[in-house]
Amino acid sequence: MAEAPAGSAARRRGSGAVTIADVAAAAAVSKQTVSNVMNYPEKVRAETRERVRRAVAELGFQPNRMARALRSSTAGMIACRIEPVSSRSLAPFHDRFLHALAEAGQAVGRHLMLFAVDDAESEAATCVRLVRTGAVEGVVLYNVVPGDLRPPVLLEAGVPFVCFGRVPGLDDAGAWVDVDNAAGVAAVVDHLAEAGHRRIGFLGFPDGHRVGDDRADGWVAAMDRHGLLAGSHRFDTRGEDTWTSGAKMARGLLDRAGAPTALVAVSDTLAAGALQAIRDLGLAPGHDVALVGYDDTPSAEVLDLSSVRQPLAEVGRRIVEVLCPTGGATVPAPSLLRPELVVRGSSRRRA
């Protein structure tokens, strides 16, 4: 490990760093005044404030976080589980969620602590322990599904938490933030219908998971709204979230008479597979067949693939706002955010 050089610019004293007492001595004021300068500058006369500020700068003073946390019993941290990378999907979505959370947290002076556990049960236990030991102020639950066993446990234990994912029973507490999956897919259908497409195929996930089901519902609802639902069950395909599966589903849809002129995929992985299938059939994506993916992963940009972007930054901000209320007096309601369709070449031109 890299060791500290004997004498560096910012001076260390004895065993530890420079404390508020050192600053106080240097500026010839009391510790409390230094504290005030740091936290409530308007409470201190300008002249004194300047003197203290100079001392702070000269000594390179940085208030000790643990001491502050102890005294004011605010850890300045929130926790979230980091899940093992699943082989289900190629899309690095969890990554981006954590990044958004970290960024949103920092904006209000909170840091993000990660922990790794094997299952939901130990996740709940760990969350309880982290809050009980004062390590964090609250926790974030990722990918919450109906019937999830984590919320009730945390509720019972009195642990502040916010879910990413709808929780039906918690509607009044503002304890969840979600992105409207149905609306996202519906927006895609709207976009395609406006461009004149009448036969719009759907590449979805197998039934039985919240996200996939919501997206499928969005397709059905929007198709119905445009009067395109009749007979379109032929265009409803489902499969695992893999590239291969996407290619297969697309081939199945396109390789027949009366094939769809547009495809809606519920992930960029599926869409990437579909893209290849389209090309394999000698068709031009965006021209012969329109194609839209989901999640706006980096690959979507590379592939010039239209995709639905989830407002992750906003999700992070809301979560943090609920967990660590700043100025806003009112406790916010649970948020159902609208995703945004990013139109690229794969769906821009009329089929």
Give the nearer residue to its own copies in terms of CB position, either 42 or 118: 118
Residue 127 as a binder of its own copies (CB under 8 A): the answer is: no
CA gap 101, 103 in Å, rounded? 5
Residue 48 as a binder of DNA (CB under 7 A): the answer is: yes
- Please answer whether residues 203 and 264 qualify as being in contact, where contact means their C-beta atoms are separated by less than 8 angstroms: yes
Residue 39: which of DNA, its own copies, none does it interact with, CB under 5 to 8 A by kind?
DNA
Residue 19: which of DNA, its own copies, none does it interact with, CB under 5 to 8 A by kind?
DNA
Residues between 297 and 326 with contacts to its own copies, criterion CB under 8 A: 297-299, 301-303, 322-323, 325
Question: What distances in angstroms separate CA 203 from CA 183, 191, 209, 239, one per listed residue?
Answer: 16, 17, 15, 7
CA gap 293, 270 in Å, rounded? 7
Task: Give bridge partners of residue 43 from the DSSP assignment.
Answer: none
Residue 86 as a binder of its own copies (CB under 8 A): the answer is: yes
Structure tokens at 126: 């760990």
How far apart are CB 324 and DNA at their closest, in Å?
15
Q: Are strands 77-81 and 111-115 parallel, antiparallel or unpaired?
A: parallel
CA gap 285, 260 in Å, rounded? 13
Give the nearer residue to its own copies in terms of CB position, either 159 or 186: 159
Give the nearer residue to its own copies in terms of CB position, either 15 or 46: 15
Task: Give bridge partners of residue 162 from the DSSP assignment.
Answer: 140
Give the nearer residue to DNA in terms of CB position, either 73 or 86: 73
Residue 203 as a binder of DNA (CB under 7 A): the answer is: no
Residue 157: which of its own copies, DNA, none does it interact with, CB under 5 to 8 A by kind?
its own copies
Among 1, 3, 5, 73, binds DNA (CB under 7 A): 73
H runs (alpha helix) in the chain: 20-27, 31-39, 46-59, 65-72, 93-107, 120-132, 150-157, 181-194, 210-225, 243-254, 268-280, 298-302, 312-323
Which residues, 6 or more positions from 182, have their beta carbon under 8 angstroms from its beta carbon?
A: 214, 215, 217, 218, 221
Residue 109 as a binder of DNA (CB under 7 A): the answer is: no
Residue 96 as a binder of its own copies (CB under 8 A): the answer is: yes
Residue 326 as a binder of DNA (CB under 7 A): the answer is: no
The count of residues interacting with DNA (CB under 7 A) is 31
CA gap 109, 60 in Å, rounded? 20
Among 2, 5, 8, 71, binds DNA (CB under 7 A): 71
Residues that bind DNA (CB under 7 A): 16-17, 19-21, 28-33, 35-36, 38-39, 43-45, 47-49, 61-64, 67-68, 70-73
